[in-house]
Structure 1
Amino acid sequence: MAAEGFAMFAAALERAAADVWEVGVAYVRFAIDHRPYFEVMFRPELYRVDDPDIQAAQERAADVLVTSARSLSPSPEHDRLTTIAAWSLVHGFTGLWLSGSLQESADGDPEALAHSMIRLVLGAMR
């Protein structure tokens, strides 16, 4: 299940790769549309982390995330920190949305909110 989920996730991110803002929205959209996969994918105790199919799909997804974050990074020495910040932002937002912790989770549009939030926070890096 994790290998299939990571492959689907990587494909979703790759489809959005041309637009840095859409990569973050694609992350959120995937998590909401494929919640069971998403919940397993980020629980490595539930799968074999050394599975070559999982590793390949994880690398594909990571390549998109790193490349996107690099376009926001103020300098090459900040690339890794920028990647961690961007990933933390979208992953944290996703967790809050899925848990119902955000007031907007009841009847809001997660993609629109994610897009605005990503632009607000990460747009300051540009």
Structure 2
Amino acid sequence: MNRSPSAAIAIYQPGTAPEPPATLGEHGRKLWGDILADWDISNVSDLAILEQACQAHDRAERLRLLIAEQGEMLVTAAGSSKPNGCIALELQARALCARLIGKLHLTDEPKRGPGRPPNPRGW
């Protein structure tokens, strides 16, 4: 009887995090490591969301450096000034990063059920 060799299965032990994807830059790799150092994320879909968030963070940091180099205001050919368009792109990348991280539900607070929130004043 022929036995085929079993396929290797990658299993992540508690406390060990998967390596950051090669698609990430310096800032994205740091964010990846920081989040996985504090939270146990092991399913593929959440890791894909985290990778996209880290890519957005990398993009925002590249745009931040470009804005610092070019300035927040640019002089047009006509001699007038206008806001640097990279500012809006940086804000969009940061907002995307925040939304994606929010989808991971990284919080110690229990989820609240349906209905009105409790009154903080107690009445």
TM-score norm. by structure 1 comes to 0.29
Larger radius of gyration: 2
Between structures 1 and 2, the one with greater helix share = 1
Greater strand share, structure number: 2
Structure number with greater CO (CA < 8 Å, separation at least 6) is 1
TM-score normalized by the length of structure 2: 0.30
